[in-house]
Chain A
Amino acid sequence: MQKLIMEHILSPLECLLPTGNLKYCLLILNQPLDRSQFHHLWSKALLKACADGGSNRLYDITEGQRESFLPEYISGDFDSIRPEVKEYYKVKGCELVSTPDQNYTDFTKCLQVLQKKIVEKDLQVDMIVTLGGLAGRFDQIMASVETLFHATSITPVPIIIIQADSLICLLQQGKHKLHVDTGLEGNWCGLVPVGHPCKHVTTTGLKWNLTNDVLMFGTLVSTSNTYDGSGVVTVETDHPLIWTMGIKNEPRE
């Protein structure tokens, strides 16, 4: 009898490739947007949405051509969205979904709304790409990580978070294969045992690999790691692990 070990396969930076037909949804959080990243990701997204103040960022960065950049919906408790921004998108027909529950962040609630729409529209979605969430207030960066933990019970679709030169995603317990040969990979990567020690982690494809090793705060956290050039990284872990990697610098606007 063969034991079926499911391997999760992911190409984290695929959404940033100029060509390709990855089916993804785009969520915009309340952090500065990188202009070229934004334009690229917007153009090919199946569905675009903003969490509260993320709509301010969208509004500002699309000045002069706002009508071409209307989100499907804006959700949140609306304590960050500027009145004129809310008015504009409302008038233009964007759905405003009020999610006042203070036990969850706007990001988490925006994901819940997104999943409802993916199901309603019967969309085939490979990935949810989130812009923002990795800079600014430290507690909100931690809240972004917490949302990744909750995401597994909200949607089956993998989620990545991108801001500036960083990407994070949460690798669940099990085996993972990451394709890191898009050409957009920067020169650093890491594995962070947020929330729970990982007693057994094994990797391939990194400069400093792990073999059934412990990753835990206070003992070892893999940061400033890099690739061995093979173009593929595998990670096997007994507890959730944050994968983080650099995105190659492009001339920024």
Chain B
Amino acid sequence: MEHVLSPLECLLPTGDLKYCLLILNQPLDRRPLHHLWSKALLRACADGGSNHLYDITEGQRESFLPEYISGDFDSIRPEVKEYYQVKGCELVETPDQNDTDFTKCLHVLQKKIVDKDLQSGKHQLHVDTGLEGEWCGLVPVGQSCKQVTTTGLKWNLTKDVLMFGTLVSTSNTYDGSGVVTVETDHPLLWTMAIKKEPRE
């Protein structure tokens, strides 16, 4: 079974990708946020992510209300929590300290939508949106991958080992075909650059 993915499709101006949006506690880029928000099926914040949403939507906050905010609420500012509570956003308290707010936010999301399984195996990445930056990489975080095969990269792998201490694919790039395939025996982190746009 092959998993097909177009990582930057969600950033395209047109298209009907069905996605949910999670906002974490880091600075937000105004334009991508507005774009991603407008077409998301469901939007949520993990704890302090709501502070960033609150700040960046000043003047039009009512048009940017998340479905829910989850977390242990040690980062959300009191006035932010109050605001979204009054506006009817669901506040889901997840105090468990064994998992991060991000992880717990995903659990909540899972309850609200149909789950999609990602596993080791064959993957097809469409990298021809025009928004791809110049670098990409494959990182065997957590476990060695004994047999990795790729196509579509400048430096491809053929049943090669990817593991920290031996080889990690960084500063790789594309061969121009617009499609990258990856076959792996263990989970692998795919990372890629997004083309720079004039940022607000």
Contact = CB atoms under 8 A, between A and B. Distances in A.
A193 interface: yes
Contact of B164 (A146, A218, A223): A146
A49 B187 CA distance: 37
A167 B170 CA distance: 21
Interface of A is mostly: mixed
Contacts of B170: 105, 139-140, 142-143, 146
A224 B103 CA distance: 14
B143 A223 contact: no
A196 B170 CA distance: 18
A195 B143 CA distance: 5
Given A139-B137, A142-B137, A143-B170, A195 B165 contact: yes
A232 interface: no
A217 B141 contact: yes
Contact of A137 (B100, B139, B165, B193): B193
A197 B139 CA distance: 15
A35 interface: no
Contacts of A82: none
B139 to A, nearest CB: 5
B139 A216 contact: no
B66 interface: no
Given A139-B139, A140-B170, A195 B191 contact: no
B163 interface: yes
A217 B168 CA distance: 17
A139 B133 CA distance: 12
B171 interface: yes
A149 interface: yes
Interface string A177-198: 0000000000000000111110
Nearest to A150: B165
Given A195-B163, A223-B100, A224-B100, A142 B143 contact: no
Contacts of A224: 100
A195 B136 contact: no
B142 A195 contact: yes
Given A149-B164, A150-B165, A138 B191 contact: yes
Nearest to A146: B168
B137 A194 contact: no
B171 A217 contact: no
A143 B172 CA distance: 11
Interface string A151-195: 000000000000000000000000000000000000000000111
A197 B140 CA distance: 12
Interface string A74-105: 00000000000000000000000000000001
B111 to A, nearest CB: 21
Nearest to B165: A149
Interface string B137-181: 101111110000000000000000001110010111000000000
B137 A196 contact: no
A25 interface: no
A240 B191 CA distance: 23
A216 B142 contact: yes
Nearest to A208: B97
A128 interface: no
A196, A197, A218: residue with the most chain B Cβ atoms closer than 10 Å: A196
A145 interface: yes
Contacts of A196: 142-144, 163-164
Contacts of A142: 137, 139, 141, 168, 170, 189, 191
19 contacts: A105-B171, A139-B136, A139-B170, A139-B172, A140-B171, A142-B189, A143-B168, A143-B171, A146-B168, A149-B164, A149-B165, A194-B142, A194-B164, A196-B142, A196-B144, A197-B142, A216-B143, A218-B142, A224-B100
Interface of A: 105, 137-140, 142-143, 145-146, 149-150, 193-197, 216-218, 223-224, 240
Given A194-B142, A217-B187, 8 more contacts: A137-B193, A140-B171, A142-B170, A143-B170, A194-B141, A195-B143, A195-B163, A240-B165
